[in-house]
Amino acid sequence: MGHTRLVVIGGDGSLTGANLFRQEWSSLLDELLSTGKITQDQRTKNKSLNVAGMAGLIDNEFCGTDSALHRTIEAIDTIVSTAYSHQGTFIMEDMVRNSDYLAIMAALACEADFVFIPERSVGQRLNISIVSEGAIDCEGKPSTAEKVKQVVVDKLHQDTRITVLRHVQRGGNPSAFDRVLGCRMGTEAVLALMEADDKTEPCVVLLDGNQAVRVPLTECVERTKAVARTMADKNWEMAVELRGRSFARNLETYKMLTRLKPQKAVMHISAMACDMNAAVRSFVRNCIYRGNSVISIQEGIEGLVAGNIKYMGWSDVTGWVGQGGAFLGTKCTLPERKFKGDAARLKEHVIQALLIIGGFEAYHAAGQFTDQRDNYKEFCIPFVVIPSTISNNVPGTEFSLGTDTGLNEITEICDRIRQSAQGTKRRVFVIETMGGYCSYLATLPGLVGGAGAAYIYEEKFSIKDL
């Protein structure tokens, strides 16, 4: 057939098999030549095989992972309300055997009280527990959902139910992120093959820092084998390290958010964006975990001047992760012309650090506070900004809080409108998105939603173009 450029999409087994296939390619051609199935000219023309791998599996931050995580969160959310209203324990078993990414991320996103993974089991209370399919105890023995249930029933005498997700995680429509990721990685794989020659080492197309990168296939296979070896040797710390910095940080964040231990403040300055509440919850519990008291400032700068301030406890932010909106309230007012009142409130409540969650207004507010440090010593404290705007138009980050949720909402609406459009003739459907002078929310949905055209601020157009 003359096909010498191969894209392999799959997990460790598929990629390992592709590498072996490439290594044996020359001997396979010799075998075909000796049996007369190909000619010497065909043997010479197709002497080498170029391979580009694409990781397509749900268990390790590749194509399909975000969609599987959506399924997991949806399943847990449907059970959470029942769990909170009953004196019982609910155990969720995910399907991934030897990787814990889904379990850790689901535990973070759904406020699970306990998570069982191969590296270690962490948590505090037992209300919602997540068990990775391949979880093991410190002796290397399987920690199945049934065993966890038996311990809870025997020791705590609680009514305990098990929900096994399994193939539910693999099904359903892909999320907006996975659609974009698949497009980008497929393009990169084609470019890798087109640029390859006889001496090019096979590669795997991966995502690193939101950029598609090419990594030698043999390196990826060896790293996977190294994780398996450290697990067999019960070297849990090294196994976590080999999973990567992102996994290690997620695990540490989950441990901090689920451990209760004995003056910082948090506020919003900008238009509302989804996931503001999740950021506040994480900030509050991390501070309490580290021994700090936390103050919430309601309604932004105006609330600070008016003294609309509340001390936050551990339970005050329970359930905030999955809730949209901004429970603290948010306004776009900047501190200029209110510096005296702001300084007085910071001094009154002995606020020693301030987290501002928001878009460009948050950036400007932090800058105005620091510019006034010579005039108000109360502003000589750390200021930190978390970018939060659905427009994704602030510097310093490729993603801001609320952007992916906004993108998913637009994608879902486009999918519904497309179904109606396909059943009509001579009709055009126009969808207007937010975003101001940044067209992220128009460009990406145009890509993943199959729009006929996307008219954006960055590319000028006229009536003639329309």
Residues annotated as part of the active site: 59
C-alpha distance across the termini of the chain, in Å: 45
How far is residue 108 from each of residues 30, 112, 334, measured CA to CA in Å? Answer: 54, 7, 33
Q: Which residue in 143, 103, 112, 88 sits closest to 258, CA to CA?
A: 112
Q: 156 and 89 in contact (C-beta within 8 Å)?
A: yes
Enclosing H/E stretch for 17:
helix 12-23
**What's the sign of the alpha-carbon dihedral 443, 447, 448, 453?**
positive
Q: How many CB atoms within 10 Å of residue 220?
A: 20
Instruction: Write out the two tokens for 170.
Output: 């693999």
Instruction: Write out the two tokens for 378.
Output: 């109360």
Burial of 409 (0-12, 13-18, 19+ CB in 10 A): middle
Q: Which residue in 317, 326, 327, 253 sits closest to 284, CA to CA?
A: 317
Residue 329 backbone zone (phi > 0: left; psi -120 to 50: alpha; other: beta): left
Burial of 166 (0-12, 13-18, 19+ CB in 10 A): exposed
